[in-house]
Amino acid sequence: MKIAVVTGSTRGIGSAIADALEKAQWKVFTSGTREKPDISNYIKCDISVPEDRLALLDTIVSEEGRIDLLVNNAGVAPFERLDVLETTLESFEQLIKINLEGTFFMCQLFANQMVKQVELGATSKPGRIINISSISSYTSSVNRGEYCVSKAGISMVTKLFADRLADYGIGVFEIQPGIILTDMTSAVKDKYERLISDGLTPIKRMGKPEDVAECVLAIANGHLDFCTGQAINADGGFHLRRL
């Protein structure tokens, strides 16, 4: 049985990813900042805290001896949406620390473990890393600029680690979800459905967490191993430029 960890997996997209991997016969370690949720193989971890990141890896490796897949899904939105002319330093630093710094050093930590496994011949297949970013990585939202900046950074993190780890056969990928119906977007569901109906996306519906999970499965199952560094758009076609 292959071993995966999905950060930010107590709800929404992360939960759907964990469920899909488990159904595909992966052993999945779930992770988040909640104290004691009723979730199997749960390890509390704030990815912005170095000690938490290390404890997460150490726990998995001590129990299983290896890690085959890291899904960096954990992230936060601004507590308050403010125009970029009013963005606070506190909010900017918080999002960069969690969304970008946390993701970068999770990649670094788990990549070193995966490299060690390759060098020792400890696994039959090298590991894989998947970073969940957002269409906000390339789309301007002037009322949450710090979020956009943090997600744009994840795109470069993916490229850097894909480049560095290619010699070891370790694939690194980015998935850019679009407008996905979760508890985080439920308050603006009507607004987004109107925009989609008016042509915002070629596919005329909001995405589901399971749509993102299917992209993760394709990577996890090795179907995209020649595509390292690739960004996959799980967005209903939002990325298309249309006249």
pLDDT value at position 183? 84
Structural domains in the chain plus CATH codes: 3-234 (3.40.50.720)
- Secondary structure of residue 105 in the 3-state scheme: helix
Provide φ and ψ at 224, rounded to 5°: -125, 30
- Range 26-46 average pLDDT: 95
For 204, other C-beta atoms within 10 Å of its C-beta total: 13
* Closest among 153, 149, 96, 105 to 129, alpha carbons compared: 105
Report how far residue 239's alpha carbon sits from residue 178's, in angstroms, rounded to the nearest whole number: 9
Average pLDDT in the 132-148 region?
A: 98
Q: Is 180 exposed, middle or buried (0-12, 13-18, 19+ CB in 10 A)?
A: buried
Give the C-alpha separation, 160 to 156, whole Å: 6
Q: Over 90: is that where the pLDDT of 10 sits?
A: yes
Report, as residue numbers or ranges, the catalytic residues: 147
Task: Inform me whether the pLDDT recorded for 243 exceeds 90.
Answer: no
pLDDT, residue 17, reads: 98
Question: First CA to last CA across the chain, in angstroms?
Answer: 48
Separation of alpha carbons 206 and 13, rounded Å: 13
For the chain, the average pLDDT equals 96
Q: What is the pTM of this model?
A: 0.96
The model's confidence at residue 82, banded by pLDDT at 50, 70 and 90, is very high
195-232 pLDDT, tens digit each: 999 999 999 999 999 999 999 999 999 999 999 999 99
User: In angstroms, what CA-CA distances link 141 with 116, 146, 147?
Assistant: 40, 9, 9
Average pLDDT of the residues in 103-109: 98
On the question of pLDDT at 236 being above 90, the answer is: yes
What does the pLDDT read at residue 185? 85
And the tokens for 193? 């459905």
